[in-house]
Amino acid sequence: MFKKSSSLAQAEDEAIRVRFTGLCAGYPGRPVLHQLDGDIPALATTALVGPNGSGKSTLLGVLAGVIQPTAGELHRHGDRPPAFVPQRGAVGDALPLTVRQTVEMGRWGERGPWRRLTRQDRVTVDRAMDRLGIGDLATRQLGELSGGQRQRALIAQGLAQESDLLLLDEPTTGLDPEARGWIAALLTELVVDGVTVVHATHDLEAARSADACLLLRDGRLAGQGHPEHLLTASTLAHVWQPA
Ligand SMILES: Nc1ncnc2c1ncn2[C@@H]1O[C@H](COP(=O)(O)OP(=O)(O)OP(=O)(O)O)[C@@H](O)[C@H]1O
């Protein structure tokens, strides 16, 4: 059988940030993901698309390492741990935290919770807030912010982790079109800066602007590829039709 040269195999490996095969995962007594085989391309944006309950957040949790697979394999190339920005509702808005404190939590992975931040950490936090245009909100309480401002604070927390793999759960849900467009543009810019971005989304426009797409239905992979080829009217109708 034709065997790939090792340099070709290496080039392919470098083009893939995460590869999973036969991946199964879920919650106690509730299997959710069934035998998924897929790739997350490196230095690209990948959109996870599918109806409510199809397993997008669960797959993000597995990619983030917070949910352990029950079967199959997951290979993350690269050695930095991923940065995970969960769904907005998953973060306690009632916590008495300022925007700055929220973003500083992004440094805890390096520094440990509630430890003093170094000067370099503070520079990283400032940069993340500036990048998201929330420097002037630094002293505001998270609970007093608009949905879009809070979303920016949570994304800034993800950036402050300085990972090269950023996982975002529905970063544009509930935002107005301008804020959605702004966040979509930011995700593309991050790729230029060397970050691989994966985001779960119900926003088909955001999904169409991604470089790659994984389409989920009932915890199974219904397709993967370039959104232009994958997100056709007939595929979408098939995936969204009641089971
Ligand atoms: N913590 C949990 N414990 C038990 N079951 C859960 C838990 N979280 C999610 N589930 C179940 O897992 C399945 C997949 O949920 P998941 O949140 O991954 O879907 P999703 O595609 O992200 O949905 P949505 O678009 O509504 O956010 C659903 O049936 C859900 O009820």
Per-residue pLDDT of the chain (243 residues; tens, 9 = 90+): 455 566 656 656 679 999 999 999 999 999 999 999 999 999 999 999 999 999 999 999 999 999 999 999 999 887 788 999 988 655 566 678 899 999 999 998 887 777 788 999 999 999 999 999 999 999 999 888 888 888 899 999 999 999 999 999 999 887 888 888 888 899 999 999 999 999 999 989 889 999 999 999 999 999 999 999 999 998 888 888 766
Instruction: Name the residue at shortest CA distance from atom 2 of ligand 1.
Output: 27
Ligand 1 near 163 CB (within 6 A) = no
Query: Which atom of ligand 1 is nearest to 59's Cα?
Result: 18
Contact 204, 210 (CB under 8 A): no
Distances (CA, A) of 65 to 60, 69, 187: 9, 9, 21
Ligand 1 near 30 CB (within 6 A) = yes
Ligand 1 near 50 CB (within 6 A) = yes
Domains and CATH numbers, the chain: 8-82+164-243 (3.40.50.300), 90-162 (no CATH)
Instruction: Identify the bridge partners of residue 83 per DSSP, sorted by sequence position.
Output: 166
Ligand 1 near 55 CB (within 6 A) = yes
Query: Which atom of ligand 1 is nearest to 216's Cα?
Result: 21
Probe target for ligand 1 pocket from 23, 32, 172, 173, with the most ligand atoms within 8 Å of CB: 32
Three-state DSSP at 23 gives strand
Find, among 183, 182, 193, 199, the residue nearest to 46 by Cα: 199
Query: Which atom of ligand 1 is nearest to 26's Cα?
Result: 12
pTM (two decimals): 0.91
